[in-house]
Amino acid sequence: MTQAIPYTHESLDLLQQGAIALAEVEANGMAVDVPYITTALERTQKRVQKKLRHLEESDVMKVWKKVFGKKTNVNSGEQLGKVLFEEMGFTPPKQTEGGKYATSEDALLTVDHPFVQEFLEMKKLQKAVGTNLKGILREAVDGVVHPFFNLQFARTYRSSSEAFNFQNIPIRDPEIAQLIRRAFVPRKGRRIVEVDYSGAEVRMGASYHKDPTMISYIMDPSKDMHRDMAVELFKIPELTMLAAHKGGEKWAKEVRHRAKNMFVFPEFYGDWYIDCTRSLWDEVPKLTVGSVPMVDHLRSVGLKECGALDPREDAVKGTFEHHVQMVERNFWDVRFPVYSNWKVRWFKEYQKRGWFQTLTGFICQGEMRKNEAINYPVQGSAFHCLLWSLIRLVRREMVKLKMKSLIVGQIHDSIVADVVPEELDDYLALCRKVMVDKLSGHWPWLVVPMEIEAEVTGIDESWAMKKGYTVN
């Protein structure tokens, strides 16, 4: 089992002081709208039942029942995989390490069938009911929840949360995110303020690999890594993309978003061109370049088909798969060679010793795959920046200034607070002072400064209503 040990006096102190600060955050708690939760539960449960009845009438369900009879279980991923990929003949996107068909949300999104789309919508609603809404309602006492924040369980050496899991509130699906976040409200007459580290793991990673190109991207606001990768991945003229991005055109934002989340970050976390190609190609019908459908644009530049996406076969030149493979090679060999070489050296050193020490003073040891050995120190150290800042805000700075505002939660790279309106700008200025300025002075090995962004609700508005707010 992978294990993290506080190796230095500083790292041990970070955990001890962090546990005390997080206990204060737990005691503060976050206010919730119990009447709203009760109504939302009833409404969402009815939607689940309606979708279940509709799914029962599907041809897929008829096949499912024919195969499994009385043992039919709509919550069984193994059964669903057998029905879709063996009985219905859909191409399986991939298999799990145990040889079973993958039926995660990402895997099922590759299956183009109305049953699968509605099935996924139903599963999201079921989770919203069982995990989120019921979990919040169960833990609410006098309209306040007090989730626990632990520092001893996560293998990535970040925090974890339970009773209920404050760090597992959906964000990818806008509808579900709104449904759940509406349950959280500020104390009467206050605002909810969320301050997060912008690009925390990218910035922290630079302190490990010190790639000059990455550092330049971070430090030069005129440069944009995700925009540049969108240009390469979708063969968009650079000037066209630059002008559209500066003009805030929606199509440019959407293309950049796909490049960021379906190529750049997956590559950083150890994914490869086949999975990236599959994700990107599935999004092509939804995208445009200006007024031109992305499908037509790609055809005009010679990319007419996806490719086999078979790891046992070489990608065929002229396919989107081969193109993404070439982009991937350029990404690591030309754009970020120092980062690429660091990954090789870091993992070889781990293999030789069986452990490594993080910049924040923890010894990480035990069996780890390559991606884990490379990503864990970055993820853990990025969270430790937040933990160090939270300690100083909760136990020192806010106490010194006699602030009435309260920190009520944290989600790995963000701090959630219940803020008195007249303290808003002072609180945000304090966050910048601690989370950026003082942090850099405390850990001089940070080769690029951390940066923060803020989102703020109106007075008495729910967390779902948060909007961007400039931190001076």
Residue 102, Cβ density class (10 Å: 0-12 exposed, 13-18 middle, ≥19 buried):
middle
Predicted local confidence at residue 97, as pLDDT? 65
* pLDDT tens digits for range 360-377: 999 888 899 999 999 999
- Give the residue-averaged pLDDT of 305-329: 96
Q: List beta partners, residue 293.
A: 288
pTM, to two decimals: 0.91
Report the alpha-carbon distance of residue 334 to residue 319 in Å, rounded: 22
User: Which pair of structure tokens corresponds to residue 34?
Assistant: 């119990």
Predicted local confidence at residue 4, as pLDDT? 62
Asked if residue 233 has pLDDT above 70, the reply is yes
SS3 369: coil
* pLDDT tens digits for range 189-217: 999 999 999 999 999 999 999 999 999 99
Predicted local confidence at residue 157, as pLDDT? 79
* pLDDT tens digits for range 376-427: 999 999 999 999 999 999 999 999 999 999 999 999 999 999 999 999 999 9
Spell out the alpha helix ranges (H) of 128-264.
134-139, 174-181, 200-209, 212-219, 225-233, 238-246, 250-259
* pLDDT tens digits for range 97-129: 667 888 888 788 878 889 999 999 999 999 999
Instruction: Name the nearest CA neighbour of 450 among 439, 461, 466.
Output: 439
Predicted local confidence at residue 383, as pLDDT? 97
Report the alpha-carbon distance of residue 51 to residue 375 in Å, rounded: 39
Residue 395, Cβ density class (10 Å: 0-12 exposed, 13-18 middle, ≥19 buried):
middle
* pLDDT tens digits for range 258-289: 999 999 999 999 999 999 999 999 899 999 99
Average pLDDT, the chain: 94
Q: List beta partners, residue 355.
A: 365
The CATH fold of domain 34-139? Taq DNA Polymerase; Chain T, domain 4 (1.20.1060)
Residue 288, Cβ density class (10 Å: 0-12 exposed, 13-18 middle, ≥19 buried):
middle
Predicted local confidence at residue 3, as pLDDT? 59
How far from the centroid of its chain's Cα atoms is residue 34's Cα? Answer: 28
State which CATH number among 3.30.70.370, 2.40.10.10, 3.40.50.2300, 1.20.1530.20 fits the domain covering 3-31+163-203+372-469.
Answer: 3.30.70.370
Predicted local confidence at residue 1, as pLDDT? 53
Q: What percent of the chain has pLDDT over 90?
A: 87
Predicted local confidence at residue 170, as pLDDT? 87
Domain limits, the chain? 3-31+163-203+372-469, 34-139, 215-335
Predicted local confidence at residue 72, as pLDDT? 93
* pLDDT tens digits for range 40-68: 999 999 999 999 999 999 999 999 999 99
